[in-house]
Amino acid sequence: MELTFWGVRGTCPIDRKDATRIGGNTPCASIETARGDWIVIDAGTGIYELGRRLAAAGPRPKRLSIFFTHFHLDHVQGLPFFEPLRDPGTEIVFYSPAEPRDLRAHLGRLMGAPFFPVAFEATASKKEFRRIDGRTIRVGGAAVSACPLNHPQGSVAYKIEEGGAAVVFATDTEPPAGGVDGWLAEFAREADVLVCDATFTPREYAAGRQGWGHGTWRDGAKLAAAARVRRLLLSHFSGWHTDRTVRAIERRARAVFAASDAAREGMRLSLPSA
């Protein structure tokens, strides 16, 4: 399967000359499975570019699965501008931890008057709404499961597995004081890639940001070591983190967990299936 990042910022998108390496769009990533299934994680502003690329590439996938970790604005704000949403030939299956009727209502409020001129229900694509809870579900050739995270109003981590390869997304989570989230470590056990929250530096976190539902690069590195994953990709970077700051974060994280890198817009990884 192929993993691509379309946005790795948290809170709000940015456009700064000192942050071009990492990029300024909010969270969105896609996985194309070996069988050609498309799985999208979150719909931050990065999903706009994903939709544009799908349209420019010729015949776009006729079925997409979009998984929301939660509904905070930085994770949904790009959806109104996602081109496949307006294509009558595309079927989109929306997943979240919420009940299907609540998921549909949340997206309806996102694209409703007076905030947006086109109602969500008026867009031309075919739509389904499903809840993901403790069960593992199948999306074509991939298995997708979820794990609850410590975040205000709730969030979940997702694990996508295909042919022996596994990717875990845990971008909005705060670890227990002084420790590692044992449930999350077990959920991510021996994954090929762990995408993890790195919103704050340890100094920023200590300066009054406890309880905000986010962690640090150090927390991510400790989690990766505890879960014995193959590679850690830090993500959900703060808008005040420049490329220089993120390079320093990478260096420090590698001192705790050697296989640490910063995720960035346009990064593409191929994970071979067994």
Q: What structural domains does the chain harbor?
A: 2-270 (3.60.15.10)
3-class secondary structure, 232: strand
DSSP string, 94-156: EEESS-HHHHHHHHHHHT-TTT-SS-GGGSSSEEEEEE-SSS-EEETTEEEEEEEE--TT-EE
Residues paired with residue 166 on neighbouring β-strands, in sequence order: 161
Which residue has 């299936």 as its token pair? 273
Angle (nearest 5°) at CA 257 between 267 and 248: 65
CB 167 within 8 A of CB 3: yes
E strands, the chain, are: 2-7, 28-32, 38-41, 63-67, 91-96, 126-131, 137-139, 142-149, 155-162, 165-170, 193-197, 232-235, 260-262, 268-270
| pTM given for the model | 0.96
Q: Of the candidates 90, 97, 169, which has an alpha carbon nearest to the alpha carbon of residue 128?
A: 90
Is residue 58 scored above 70 in pLDDT?
no
> pLDDT of 97-152, one tens digit each?
999 999 999 999 999 899 999 999 999 999 999 999 878 999 988 999 999 999 99
Distance, in Å, from the CA atom of 105 to the CA atom of 121, rounded to the nearest integer, reads 10
Is residue 23 scored above 70 in pLDDT?
yes
3-class secondary structure, 189: coil
CA torsion sign, 34 to 231 to 40 to 83? negative
> pLDDT of 181-234, one tens digit each?
999 999 999 999 999 999 999 999 999 899 999 999 999 999 999 999 999 999
Is residue 93 scored above 80 in pLDDT?
yes
Is residue 241 scored above 90 in pLDDT?
yes
φ/ψ of residue 241, rounded to 5: -90, 110
What per-residue confidence (pLDDT) applies to 62?
Answer: 87
The pLDDT confidence band at residue 272, using thresholds 50, 70 and 90, is: confident
